[in-house]
Structure 1
Amino acid sequence: MSFKRITLMDVYEIVRRWHDQQSVSQIARELGYDRKTIRKYIHYCTKIGLSQKEPLPAKQWIINSLAKVIPAPQRPATAQQVLKPFLSEITQLIHDKHHPLKPKHAFEVICQRHQLNGKVSYSTFKNFYRRHVLTIDAQKITCRIESPPGKEVQVDYARVGYLYDPISKRKKVVYGFIATLAFSRHKYIEFTFKQDQQSFVNSHVHMFDHFEGVPHTVNIDNLKNGVIKPDLYDPRFNRTYQELAEHYGFFINPCRVKHPKDKGKVERDVQSVRQLFRKLIALYPDATINELNRRANAYLINDYGQKPHGTTGRKPYVAFLETEKPALKPLPQHPFEIAVWKQAKVHPDLYVQFNKKFYSVPYQYAGKQVWIKATAKIVKIYFQHQLIKQHLITDNYRHTDINDFPPNVKAALDEGLPARLQHKARLIGANFQQLVRKTLELHTFINLRNAQGLVALADKFDHQIIEKTAAFFIEHNIAVNYRLFKQKLEQMKQQQAQSIMPISQQSLQFVREMDYFCHQKS
């Protein structure tokens, strides 16, 4: 077999399958590795103390431990380059009109003609002719494969039509997420306006909740939302989708490119679901997408699910309740937290950008490629599978931790002009001094003029008003700049002036003591 680089994340997938009591042959077949390779990494698993009888330790511990015992791979020189000059000759031998040869015999002819015996293996030759599409078109024969209960669910996306979206106030394309259990043929359908990563993962979560269990394997198409690199021998999964699989305990089986029969049970349903969508639109033209989802799944239970299936002869929903549902894995105790992953480079100013915001990273990683994992509230930054930084997501444009910067940058806050500005701010009040320091911490030299402008306002406004305004900005966590702070100062000053009403000398003539208004009866 030709050389194929295996990463630590690939090894962790082997560990999961081995711990699940899968055989060496099954793991090798489903992941596309040689059995000797699988045995080698199982040996490393036992070497670090893993056991099939004990629960798996934390994922990060396994990766760190394997990194210490697995030697760095050495890529051998490719042997396929030797066959390239004979590409046309190999093609002619295999596709000859009168005397076509099978690949094995074509390999023997080429080796004998050009003295290649011992220089090129038959495995290399097979990979070569597969890559260059040299296989002979064989007669198409269909073999129907049935799966045991709870073993497999087949998933597909399909464009089903258009629907008015009340949020965007226009008609949008509607996609159908279709999931078919391979044994019972019971289904789950979800119509959605999006086909992105989050929508794909959300639909899986809803599917598991609908089935009230998790199948052993999920067969998916080569969508980028699930599979980044659709390669037969070395697929790369989307990290969010991989985390979903680890959380729910199922295994991902990506189908081959341009091989719809790999998940034929769900492919056959695409036309039916498209017609169901059109039927529901005709019956309920004003229905929302949520109502259509509810009606579609009710149809699958009460109508489609109660009719005998043409292949199995059983009613899908009845077969699901009686046989397949008890065989599904239980749902995890805790809900899955959907995260978005993105690769980024640490800028020279020690920030990474994600979703139009900047987050500081320790200075040791300047110029490095890192992975960003973002949930609804937290951004986590990883380097080589190690967590190096995390930030709470706020409304601020920049998220800065002064400890991420080298010592000379941190010292700049307490030396020279920045130190003098903080000293002047301290004379005005504690809140103003805290506001000026917070401004300089974001980036001392970039925000130096901004801090100078804030301190210069002390010569134009009363110190009490400045202190009160600074407290307002700190309390509401508002990013401050010179113009915004000055505008708020003027507003505070005007409010204070309006609250004090002056009294003229003429008005004072009508002022009386309180006793004047007290009358006692005689």
Structure 2
Amino acid sequence: MRKIRQVLRLHFEEQQSRRLIARSLGLSRDAVSDYITRAAATRLPWPLPDDMDDAALEHRLFPPVVALAPARKPEPDWPKVHQELKRKGATLQVLHEEYLSEYPNGIAYSLFCLRHREFTQTLKRYMRQVYVAGERVFVDYAGPTMTVVDPVNRTMRKAQVFVGVLGASNYIYAEAHWSQSLTDWIAAHCRMFEHLGAVPAVIVCDNLKSAVIKASRTDPVINATYQDMADHYGTLILPARAYKPKDKAKAENGVLIVERWIMFRLRKRAFGGLAELNEAIRALLVEINARPFQKLPGCRQSNFETIDRPAMRTLPATPYEYAEFRKVRVGLDYRIVVDEVPYSVPFNLVRQEVELRLTAAVVEVLHRGKRVASHARSNGTVPVIDPQHMEAAHRHFGLWGADHALEWAVQTGAHVHRILEAMLVGMRTREQGYRAHNGLKRLAKDFGNERLNMACHRAIEIGAPSLSSVRSILRNNLDRQPAESQDRREANFEHPNLRGSDYYS
């Protein structure tokens, strides 16, 4: 309360100067003069009336000023302007022009920008990130877990809750799965994209091992499978900086909402499996996304339909097929081993490092980003060999088989087939049969198929079905000589050492 009563008393009763009054009461001389002047102007009597207190005295000397406020120009709908700025290509200048088209005598552009800044400061008192429609989705795991009964072995297990939040509309997606492993992490993203019906341009994630192999502010190393999934959907992975939760504040807030409005409300329910838990989560998500905002128009669902979804990318024609990536070194036998099954690669990559892309059905071999081999994945232990990966000499031996050799022999000649078949029966190892086959093919090349067939016939007649016999016959031209006739004649005399034909009857 101003010291008006003391000033008037010292002036009228004590007849003190204004300088002394100011020094005595700790006021400025101008303030003392103002009090005395206002008392004279209002014809205030002294001594003051008994019913006049300090508040009435102050109101007498300082009456409220009633001024006619000028007519205010119509204010824009700031929540609507703030939401429109999230659309791609939106600027304050364009929105101001739209405002003037509706209110020609409205506020100027500079005041328009100032009032918008003042409105944004009422939303939050720290720097706000402006997210373009359809640009980013923030993903993370909730800290608490949900208890679920495993339907297979009927044991109690903890389920992890995955949360995704869109940047512009704040639309929330959540689901539960068994772990934070790479398989569940990738599957959660694929189901989220299917639920949204579109794909955002950027995924902002935490630095868990399923997403980031090596965290770095400038050059983070993304998990190869996670990057392969992003390439399939045409999106970009942008990990948050380590220990910087504000980089993914949307995800942190979404996790908080899921923990409070979903997990806490489901804490007393017993679930017989993940399917039952996820059904309950989806029901509560519909309620959360349909809840109206407190300071902005609409809700998460309506904003998603009008802002985010139209600006997001369309889903690819086929869903992502889960693939693992490994780095291995090719052995001297130009093979790599996957789950104890050997697979061939081109022989010129011996002892070089290659990258494997493994799916449930295919084994792909990549070298310097280029696919060099592809095999159907095998569940047995038999090596999977592509003949084109082998050297010429190795391919000939590796693919040799007795059936193929006998087919060649049939085409060459009937006697060649008989003698090769007889030789293969007596062979104990595959290498012996391979050498015998190659030996006959070499003789066919040197002497011709017809002479080889006749030589084999001669070898069979003399009872010597071997490669060395056939080679000797050809070199000595015995195949071109008529065979010697051996007529059997009975002895025409009697001798004690001759038994005769009657002996064997």
Instruction: Give the structure 2 partner of residue 154 of structure 1.
Output: 138
Deviations 1:148-189 (A, max 9, x none): 322211011235233222235433331111100122211111
Deviation at 1:296? 1.0
* Structure-1 residue corresponding to 2:265: 279
Deviation at 1:212, TM superposition (A): 1.4
Cα shift at 1:387 = 0.9
Which SS does the other structure have where 1:359 is aligned? strand
Q: CA deviation at 1:314?
A: 4.2
1:197 aligned residue: 182
| Pair 1:448–1:189, CA change in 2 (3 A) | farther
- The equivalent of 2:397 in structure 1 is 412
Q: Is the 8 A contact 1:161 1:274 kept in 2?
A: no
Distance in 1 (alpha carbons) for counterparts of 2:177 and 2:158? 9
User: Which residue is 1:254 aligned to?
Assistant: 239
Specify the SS of the correspondent of 1:214: coil
Residues 144-293 of structure 1 correspond to what in structure 2 (within 5 A)?
A: 144-159=128-143, 160-275=145-260, 276-277=262-263, 279-283=265-269, 285-293=270-278
Check conservation: 2:356, 2:366, Cα contact below 8 A.
Answer: yes
Identity between Structure 1 and Structure 2 (%): 26
- Other-structure match for 1:390: 374
- Contact kept, 8 Å, 2:134 with 2:168, in 1: the verdict is yes
Specify the code of the residue in structure 1 equivalent to 2:343. Answer: Y
Q: Structure 1 residue aligned with 2:319, among 335, 338, 341? A: 335
| Shift in Å, 1:389 | 0.5
Counterpart AA for 2:366: Y
DSSP-derived class of the 2:161 partner: strand
- Which one of the candidate residues 371, 378, 386 is aligned to 1:401? 386
Contact preservation (8 Å) 1:281, 1:287: no
Partner of 1:316: 300
- Following superposition, the deviation at residue 192 of structure 1 comes to 0.6
Q: Post-superposition shift, 1:225?
A: 2.2
Which amino acid is 1:266 matched to?
A
Q: Which residue of structure 1 aligns with residue 75 of structure 2?
A: none
How far apart, CA to CA, are the structure 2 residues paired with 1:287 and 1:314?
36
Match of 2:284 in 1: 299
Contact 2:172 2:254 in 1 (8 A): no
Question: What residue identity is the alignment partner of 2:339?
Answer: N
Structure 1 unaligned blocks of 5 or more: 1-20, 23-140, 428-446, 453-522
Q: What is the CA distance between 1:289 and its match in structure 2?
A: 0.8
Paired residues in the alignment total 291
Amino acid paired to 1:252? I
Following superposition, the deviation at residue 260 of structure 1 comes to: 1.1
Could you say which residue in structure 1 is the equivalent of 2:96?
none
Contact 1:161 1:278 (8 Å CA) reproduced: no
The alpha-carbon deviation at position 420 of structure 1 amounts to 7.2
Structure 2 residue aligned with 1:351: 335
The answer for unaligned runs of 5 or more in structure 2 is 1-87, 90-124, 410-428, 435-505
| CA distance 1:219–1:311, shift in 2 (3 Å) | farther
Secondary structure of 1:223's partner? coil
Matched position secondary structure for 2:142: strand
- For 2:217, the aligned partner's letter is L
Do the aligned partners of 1:213 and 1:329 also contact (CA within 8 Å) in 2? yes
Contact in 1 for aligned 2:321/2:359 (Cα 8 Å): yes
RMSD: 3.3
Q: CA separation in 2, counterparts of 1:310 and 1:259?
A: 28
* Matched letter for residue 331 of structure 1: L
**In the TM superposition, what is the alpha-carbon distance from 1:421 to its structure 2 partner?**
9.5
Secondary structure of 1:266's counterpart equals helix
**Matches of 1:370 and 1:168 in 2, distance apart?**
40
Q: Deviations over 1:406-432 (max 9, x none)?
A: 233223348xxx7779768999xxxxx
Cα 1:170/1:400, change in 2 over 3 Å: farther
Tell me the TM-score normalized by structure 1: 0.50
Change (3 A) 1:185 1:410: same
SS at match of 1:305: helix
Q: C-alpha distance in 2, partners of 1:175/1:218?
A: 20
Residues 198 and 340, structure 1, Cα contact 8 Å, conserved in 2: no
Matching residue within 365, 371, 375 for 2:355: 371
Normalising by the residue count of structure 2, what TM-score does the alignment of the two structures yield? 0.52
Distance 1:237 1:425, change over 3 A: same
Of 318-327 and 187-196, the range deviating more from structure 2? 318-327
Per-residue Cα deviation, 1:68-90 (whole angstroms, up to 9, x for no partner): xxxxxxxxxxxxxxxxxxxxxxx
3-state DSSP of counterpart to 1:167: coil
Assess, with a 3 A threshold, how the Cα gap between structure 1 residues 423 and 408 changes in structure 2: closer, same or farther: closer
3-state secondary structure, aligned to 1:325 = helix
C-alpha deviations, 1:261-288, integer Å up to 9, x for none? 11011113334434523533523x1342
Deviation string 1:436-455 (CA, Å, 9 cap, x unpaired) is xxxxxxxxxxx969x99xxx
SS of equivalent residue, structure 1 residue 371: strand
Q: Is the 8 A contact 2:341 2:378 kept in 1?
A: no
Larger Rg: 2
